[in-house]
Amino acid sequence: MLLALDAGNSNITIGAFEGRKLLCQWRLRTVREQTADEWGILLRNLFSPVGLDIAKVDGIIISSVVPPIDSTLAAMTRRYFHTDAMFVGPRTDIGLAIRYDNPNEVGADRLVNGVAGFYKYGGPCVVVDLGTTINFDVISKDGEYLGGAIAVGIGISIDVLFSKTARLPLVDFRPPKDVVGTNTVASMQSGLYFGAIGMIDGILERIIQQLGPDTKAIATGGQAHMIAGGSRFISTVDEHLTLEGLQMIWERNHPQ
């Protein structure tokens, strides 16, 4: 059994795979101060309620954009799973040519999304990952990771509106009933929702103009379904894309 971990700034998404089949997935908060033992106990406690045997885990792959927790996660995998985790990086064989000016600057999650987007849907393609930031990862028709764009995430926008103003409340992100809000909460939700869609579609339109009309746009991440409902360019929502990309990279580097 393979355990795949995607460690982001806000959450760690965890998936258990049997071969290529995703058996189960979980989401934990990214707590930088947590010890290896705390991470180990948390992960072990996820298995028994869903009937999985932790002793069957024989491989672990991690993509992380939070360097302070990397050594802790590595220690946890050795102590609790008796194996060394494979960390995805610019020197990992991912099956894509990386065309970024400095490959060391590319977030591991962006590379993983590029792998899954290309090998599941073909190129050219753009993966839009709606997390703490909104990442656009662009893959050519020839399987080259070209780069992309990084924009402010929806959660950050909500927090800034609340913390930097005197009277605006903290609101949920949801599609509004109308673009014209008739109260403060509805007005904020309209601005957040249609502002996010306008930004995403504006960037996608320019990328598609550059790569060609056959470019596929795939969304993943927390608000992907809500955004896709209003987008002119997002054709597919794939909530397991990052975890499946990790499984693909593991399989490529550990052939049977």
Closest CA to 111 of 134, 131, 139, 133: 139
- Contacts of 51 by beta carbon, 8 Å cutoff, 6+ apart: none
Residues 6 or more apart whose Cβ sits within 8 Å of residue 256: none
Q: How many CA atoms lie within 13 A of 65 on its CB side?
A: 19
Q: Which two tokens stand for residue 37?
A: 């033992």
- Residues 26/224/176/192 CA torsion (nearest 10 deg): 100
Helix (H) or strand (E) holding 130: strand 125-130
Cα separation, 48 vs 44, whole angstroms:
8
197 near 227, Cβ under 8 Å?
A: yes
Q: Exactly one of 6, 109, 129, 238 is catalytic; name it.
A: 109
| Separation of alpha carbons 101 and 141, rounded Å | 19
84 counts as catalytic: no
Residue showing tokens 């959450």: 11
Q: Which residues pair with 114 in a beta bridge?
A: none
**What residue ranges in 30-112 does DSSP mark as E strands?**
59-64, 86-87, 97-98
**What six digits make up the tokens of 135?**
């990442």
- Could you give the residue numbers annotated as active site? 109
